[in-house]
Amino acid sequence: MREFSHMPTTAESRSPTGGAAAIKAPATPAAGTGIAPEDIKRYVQLYAANPLFGHHDEWVITDNPFRRPVDHQAVTQHNFSQPLKREEVFSSSALAAQRMLFNVYETDLVFLPDKDFAAKRADFESFYSNENKLLGELIRPTLEAHVFGFLDEEIDISGKWSAAAVKSYLQHLVDNHERSELDIVSAVLSSPDPEKAALALLIQVAGDFLTESSASARNLLGKFGPVQSELFKIAIDDYGYGVHKAKHSTLFESTMATCGLATDAHAYWHFYLTGSLALNNYYHYVCRDHSKFFRAIGAIAVGESLFAHTCRKFSEMLRAVFGDRVDTYYFDEHFHIDAHHGRMAAENVVAPAIAKYGDSVIPEIVRGIEELQSITSLADTDFMAQLAWADDLQGHKAAAARARQGGLSEETESTKTTVVLREGEPVITRACDADSLWLVESGTLELVAGHGSSIQIQAGEGLVVRRGRLQGASSVSPRCLYHVYQLKD
Ligand SMILES: [Fe+2]
Ligand SMILES: [Fe+2]
């Protein structure tokens, strides 16, 4: 149900009449937990201190869905009490918050390792322990306000909306989307290494596709009439009508396996970009809190409506990159079924919900439509920026040499951090809050920019890491000492 290609969310596009505001969308309630900020800060640190969320020995986490590194150091550095601004959504604070939120949400889902449960039983029990769940629940509203609060400022729904206007607006979005080539697909195809780029994209979507429909399935319980059963029909398609090999997540496993990727849930946790986590979390955010039910059906309607074309473009791209060896059936199946799901969601869920619950629910539905597109756009931007940087690590090595030749001074650097790494130390990926210059003084550093994407930096060499980019570092010599200079704008 993930959607990629973004439609502009201009004020005009949100107002079907261009007229004066007829219905004002209610703002998201503040975190409103009644808990003092200093207590929240303490709970956040306690939450992140769970050994399950500590650094891991390997970049790929094999068959243990409970190991989900958060980066405790980042958590202690940041204060999550204020909403981030849009320009901060790829910051280190955003990454830490999105990772924690994803963990909080996913304690509602069942994960089991494929093999050797006995060896992982302690992790299983810790992940689903009351302590982990209660701490997660205490910090969740604060983290949600931190990472999604900017949407309240950004999206203003005005105009004389009606059920017909919502329907034609959704159709307008579908029409525009179907004329699009999808920027992320074009970015993969024009990469100097399209295979690596395509794998990077599959990894970004795996966080959602391997548990497909889990967030929206939260709307199936309860009692609310025929709309409930229509939502159920969409879910049972995603769940393959109980035939495991037809379950959409199983189809996606086959796509990953035929590309040589692991199919364990969150094996590539370290490489999930902040934007991808935001998109996964957004579905949970609106589907878990049932006061956001109408926002959720707006998001589901637009997600389902646009996904068909997205899947067509993904399938074409995978075939072009991997030839016959890739199984594209996951995408081919969605190309057919999500055109149908989009119609079902618009005609059998959104329209009857408005008819039954009244026009006052329309702004929330439109808010869901707009917010999903906004978060999708961020996920796309993040992926393309990461790809551009990771594809040009040599160029960024040369940039570091030039910066070094030019001489570092107080005018070019703001802070300097010195780090010592030892070979075999546990690893973590982080996001950079500013463009930074990494200079290796001794030993050899391996800087990782994604799965299978890294560069070695010898003593005397350096690398420029761009703001917002995800990177991890390890030493490939017994000891490596390096300096990180945060560069001024
Ligand atoms: Fe599906
Ligand atoms: Fe679907």
Residue 339 CA: distances (Å) to CA of 79, 285, 367: 43, 25, 22
Rg of the chain over Cα atoms, rounded to whole angstroms, equals: 23
Determine the Cα–Cα distance for residues 210 and 168; give it in Å rounded to an integer: 32
Residue 236 confidence class, pLDDT cut points 50, 70, 90: very high
Q: Within 190-325, where are the H helices?
A: 194-209, 226-238, 248-258, 274-288, 293-322
Determine the Cα–Cα distance for residues 178 and 343; give it in Å rounded to an integer: 15
Q: What is the mean pLDDT of residues 30-42?
A: 82
**In this predicted structure, what is the pLDDT of residue 489?**
66
CA of 266 to the centre of ligand 1 (A): 19
226-238 vs 329-343: helix crossing angle, rounded to 10? 170
Nearest CA to 41 out of 79, 73, 77 is that of 79
Amino acid symbol at 477: S
Whether the pLDDT of residue 262 is over 80: the answer is yes
Higher pLDDT, 209 or 2: 209
Determine the Cα–Cα distance for residues 348 and 338; give it in Å rounded to an integer: 14
Task: Tell me the residue length of the chain.
Answer: 489
Cut 0.85: pTM above it: yes
Query: 3-class DSSP state for residue 456?
Result: strand
**In this predicted structure, what is the pLDDT of residue 403?**
86
CA of 213 to the centre of ligand 1 (A): 7
Q: What is the mean pLDDT of residues 391-410?
A: 89
340-373 per-position pLDDT tens digit: 899 999 999 999 999 999 999 999 999 999 999 9
**In this predicted structure, what is the pLDDT of residue 214?**
97
Whether the pLDDT of residue 241 is over 60: the answer is yes
Determine the Cα–Cα distance for residues 361 and 353; give it in Å rounded to an integer: 8
Which residues have CB less than 5 Å away from ligand 2 (the ion)? 304, 338, 341
CA of 410 to the centre of ligand 2 (A): 54
Q: Where in the chain is the domain with CATH 1.20.910.10?
A: 11-25+155-390
By CB neighbour count within 10 A (0-12 exposed, 13-18 middle, 19+ buried), where does 305 fall? buried
Whether the pLDDT of residue 6 is over 80: the answer is no
**In this predicted structure, what is the pLDDT of residue 488?**
81
Determine the Cα–Cα distance for residues 369 and 7; give it in Å rounded to an integer: 11
- Give the ligand whose atoms come closest to the C-alpha of residue 330: 1
Lowest mean pLDDT, pick from 11-15, 66-70, 353-357: 11-15
CA of 333 to the centre of ligand 1 (A): 8
Residue 378 half-sphere exposure, CB side, CA atoms within 13 Å? 28
Whether the pLDDT of residue 20 is over 80: the answer is no
112-139 per-position pLDDT tens digit: 999 999 999 999 999 999 999 999 999 9
Query: 3-class DSSP state for residue 241?
Result: helix
Q: What is the mean pLDDT of residues 94-98?
A: 98
CA of 8 to the centre of ligand 2 (A): 23
Partner residues linked to 429 by β-bridges: 472
CA of 15 to the centre of ligand 2 (A): 27
Sheet-wide strand order for 470-475: 429-431, 470-475, 445-450, 453-457
Q: What is the mean pLDDT of residues 185-197?
A: 98
- The two tokens of residue 214 are 């889990």
Amino acid symbol at 202: L
Pick the CATH number of 11-25+155-390 from 1.10.10.10, 3.40.50.720, 1.20.910.10, 3.30.70.580: 1.20.910.10
CA of 142 to the centre of ligand 2 (A): 31
Task: Name the superfamily (CATH) of residues 393-487.
Answer: Jelly Rolls (2.60.120.10)
The answer to whether 260 touches 326, Cβ cutoff 8 Å, is no
Which residues have CB less than 5 Å away from ligand 1 (the ion)? 238, 248
Whether the pLDDT of residue 306 is over 60: the answer is yes
329-343 vs 248-258: helix crossing angle, rounded to 10? 150
